[in-house]
Amino acid sequence: MPLESPARASTSRAWMYLLVCFPILTDVIETGGLPHSPREWFTEAAVGVLIALLVHALRREHLALLSLARSDALTGLGNRRAFAEEVEAECTRARRLVVPLTLVLMDLDRFKQVNDLSGHARGDAVLQQFGNAIRRAIREHVDRGFRLGGDEFALLLPGSNAAHGHAVVARIRDHCVRQDPLWRDGPLGISAGIVEFESAETTSAFVARADVAMYGHKNSGGGSNRRP
């Protein structure tokens, strides 16, 4: 069963605020009329406010849990589940509105060497560095970054062409090179597949094209000093 997105969850549970009217409705059912005295109205209002506060707290907790379920614990980026949902939604939007959409799939070259030679803690630090570089390089509230698993990452760039995708990858690479000699001197590098959405293709075909492009770049050498 697909996990509900935070935006949809927020909208779908707005009806819960109708529970604020519950104390007055029960009063009408029990007494046949509305409260009479100012004290009774104050009591009903106080109970309504309390219910509203509880509903607000429950909705916030629910949204936080949904966000956690869609996030990668190590990098804070979206996870594979979030990517699957959002790439489908963005393809539908691009197809309907006839607007550009670029997908970038990235894989860290020779990442296994870091884990083997320096340990998994060092490898985790590299993945966190890369996640931070992604957040710095993309447009806030427009583009989205994801960790698909292991050392595989993805970017969704709505309203953008492939040239913008290349520029984003270059910014990510430059940030990594400045932060860590493993990027500057080796062995780490980035292989990236950058493709623009074609309205006639399915979402799975779109992702598959990016995957083929990424492995084509990796097989041609990849590397931190090569641009895809």
The pLDDT tens digits for 151-203 are: 999 999 999 999 999 999 999 999 999 989 999 888 999 999 999 999 999 99
Report the number of distinct structural domains present in the chain: 2
Stated as kind and residue range, the H or E segment containing 147 is strand 144-149
Last residue of a domain, one of 69, 90, 108: 69
226 belongs to a structural domain: no
Judgement on whether residues 143 and 208 belong to the same structural domain of the protein: yes
pTM comes to 0.71
Rounded alpha-carbon distances, angstroms, from residue 103 to 88, 131, 147, 157: 12, 17, 14, 6
Could you tell me the end-to-end alpha-carbon distance of the chain, in angstroms, rounded to an integer? 37
HSE value, Cβ hemisphere, 13 Å, CA-based, for 163 = 0
Judgement on whether residues 28 and 102 belong to the same structural domain of the protein: no
Judgement on whether residues 85 and 197 belong to the same structural domain of the protein: yes
Residue 151 appears among annotated catalytic residues = yes
125 belongs to a structural domain: yes
Q: How many CB atoms lie within 10 A of CB 160?
A: 23
The pLDDT tens digits for 98-153 are: 999 999 999 999 999 998 888 889 999 999 999 999 999 999 999 999 999 999 99
Considering 27, 109, 151, 180, which one is annotated as catalytic? 151
What sign has the CA pseudo-torsion 78, 81, 86, 87? Answer: positive
CA distance 153 to 82: 12
Judgement on whether residues 52 and 95 belong to the same structural domain of the protein: no
Alpha-carbon dihedral angle through residues 207, 213, 217, 220, given to the nearest 10 degrees: 140
Q: What residue type is assigned to position 214 of the chain?
A: M
Judgement on whether residues 64 and 135 belong to the same structural domain of the protein: no
Domain range enclosing 29: 6-69
Judgement on whether residues 174 and 147 belong to the same structural domain of the protein: yes
CA distance 80 to 148: 5
